[in-house]
Amino acid sequence: MACGSCGTTENGVPRGCKSNGNCGTGTCGSGSEKLAVFDWLSNMTLPSGQERFNIFEVRFKNGRKHFFKNVDNIPLTMGDIIAVEGSPGHDIGTISLAGELVKVQMKKRKITADHEDVKKIYRKATQKDIDIWQKARDREEETQRKGRLILGKLGLQMKLSDVEFQGDGNKATFYYTADARVDFRQLIRDLASAFSIRVEMKQVGARQEAARLGGVGSCGRELCCSTWLTDFRKVTTSAARYQQLSLNPLKLAGQCGKLKCCLNFELDTYLDALKSFPKQDVVLRTEKGDAVFVKMDIFKKHLWYTYKEERFKWFRLTLDQVQEIIDLNKNNEKSISLEDYESDVEIPEKVDFEDAVGQDSLTRFDAPKVSKRRRNNRNNRRKKPAAVAANQPKENTQKRPQKQQQNRRPKQNPNQKPKVANKPNQPKAEGVKPNKPRRNNRNRNKNRPKNGNNSQEK
């Protein structure tokens, strides 16, 4: 579904959503409904004597959500646009959740009903309130552009990422990112005098900035932080070590420059599987010598060890074999060599699926295509005349005996006239010249006169 502003122009060109997925009019993709909760209790009646929970969850720009109390018991449902208490003035938002599930969300964020952040709901938004709100939102892009110009003149080491106007248009929140602490007191004065509004500065992290801008990750899918992820937990390099990943910062970093949040997704599974594995610093004592750890395959339960003195050879062992060697070493006994253990390891054969459908290989266009004509010409140049004569089939000798005899004739004296053999029972054709020995093509230019006359010396 989409709102009315996401249609097409007269020429059929899509307009696109100017709010980057955070449309205030409703269901415009995952950005506006980021981690939306389905109210599965909406069709159920409350027990007798129990009143409906009067706190609602309200959504604003960039997926920002807050809780507001319905003091006047206004009949409200999910999706209604309401006017809520601001600081100062009022703000316009959309109800994203209502009913008993709001208690679960408040408990998750550790917010109580009498918390100071839980403000009041004034009324349902009128058409005048919505018009003022839309005009304020239309000013955000131009305000952000001018704010960056003011920021560049002051030379502050910070980046202005977004601007959000309050519903009444009297206040604007400027979101920025900075690596260090910045003194922006002069910036607030310049912004307030330039736009005649109340200014509030709010710093966001690199992950929040990437979530707002959006993008496509290395997995080929849309970024998790811009679609469904809201709580940004700390990611460390130990998560990559447990998963046996190479510590390459270019591969482990996301669009925000920090470590990828997806490193934590499968970390618990790896930690549970590693509980049965021995420590990597354990040395195996065998009859041939001491062996040290090289690498492992966690889910196949295979480990590779090598001797300290002969590190050029790695031996594949199973987890049960390694545990057996460790138990022998605890009893001050040495195990047999790693070669004997490796011979007992059964390596499953890789199944190669046949091409039953007739599909081509995916790498068929990788190799450059060579022209057959060029390849044949190159092969003919490399062949010697003797090799060509030796490779000729015998059938050609039977079909063309006269040509071979002509090639095998001895060299004639240039002063002697060539003899022409008359064939029996065949009269001589008039105007037919006798066969002459073939000349080399290289000497044609030498025999031509330099003066350009066509006459030849006889």
Residues 6+ positions from 272 with CB-CB distance below 8 Å: none
How many whole angstroms separate alpha carbon 52 and alpha carbon 73? 10
Distances (CA, A) of 34 to 1, 28, 38, 83, 396: 15, 10, 12, 21, 82
Contact 38, 16 (CB under 8 A): no
Per-residue pLDDT tens over the stretch 360-394: 666 767 777 666 666 666 666 665 555 445 555 55
Distances (CA, A) of 1 to 11, 25, 79, 81: 22, 11, 14, 18
How many whole angstroms separate alpha carbon 456 and alpha carbon 202? 100
Taking 70 as the pLDDT cut, the residues of the chain under it are: 1-37, 351-362, 364, 369-458
pLDDT of res. 393? 52
Residues 6+ positions from 47 with CB-CB distance below 8 Å: none
User: Candidates 3.40.50.1220, 3.40.50.300, 3.30.300.20, 2.20.28.10; correct CATH number of 134-204?
Assistant: 3.30.300.20
- Burial (CB < 10 A; 0-12, 13-18, 19+), residue 252, is middle
pLDDT of res. 397? 45
Q: Where are the domains of the chain?
A: 1-34, 47-125, 134-204, 210-273, 278-343
pLDDT of res. 41? 75
SS3 for 314-341 is CEEEEHHHHHHHHHHHHCCCCECCHHHH
Q: Could you give the strand order of the β-sheet that contains 159-165, starting from the edge strand earlier in sequence?
A: 159-165, 171-177, 198-203
pLDDT of res. 173? 93
Residue 168, Cβ neighbours under 10 Å: how many? 17
Distances (CA, A) of 368 to 80, 373, 378: 62, 15, 17
How many whole angstroms separate alpha carbon 194 and alpha carbon 172? 12
pLDDT of res. 82? 94
This prediction has a pTM of 0.59
